[in-house]
Amino acid sequence: MASADNDNNTLDDPMVFIIIGKAYERDGDEGIDIHVMLRAPDDDSAVREALNALSEEGFLEADLDQIGTLNDVPDEEPHASAYRGALEGEVAIIRFA
C-alpha cells in the first residue's frame, strides 16, 4: 500500500520557529531586542515555550512581534548555533544590545 504524500506531514522535518520581539528585565526598562529559536509542533506551542524560557531567564514580560519558521540552516552566527540547539530541543534566546 502506498502512503499518501501530504505537504502538511512535517514529522520528518521538525519545524524550527524564530520569534522576534522585545523583552523586559525590569519595569520601566527600554527592553532588549531578542530572537528566540526553538522547535515546536505549532506556533501556539512555540509562543508558550518562548515565554516560559524568557521567564526562566529573568525577564518580567515580552512583546513578541513576529513569528515564522526557518526552512534552511542560517549561515551566520549566532543564528546558526541557535538553530542547531533548537534541533536538539533547546530554546535559544539571542539578545541584541
> 26 lies in a domain?
yes
User: Going by C-beta distance under 8 Å and a sequence separation of 6 or more, which residues neighbour residue 31?
Assistant: 22, 23, 24, 63
Q: What is the pLDDT of residue 14?
A: 63
> 2 lies in a domain?
no
> 75 lies in a domain?
yes
Q: What is the pLDDT of residue 10?
A: 44
Judged against a pLDDT cut of 70, whether residue 11 lies above it is answered with: no
Q: Which domain holds residue 74?
A: 16-36+43-96
Q: 25-68: per-residue pLDDT in tens? A: 998 889 999 999 999 999 999 999 999 999 999 999 999 999 99
Please give the Cα distance from 5 to 78 (Å, whole number). 35
> 3 lies in a domain?
no
Cis peptide bond prior to 78, omega within 30° of 0: yes
> 5 lies in a domain?
no
Judged against a pLDDT cut of 50, whether residue 4 lies above it is answered with: no
> 25 lies in a domain?
yes
> 53 lies in a domain?
yes
Q: What is the pLDDT of residue 27?
A: 85
Q: What is the pLDDT of residue 29?
A: 86
Domain total for the chain?
Answer: 1
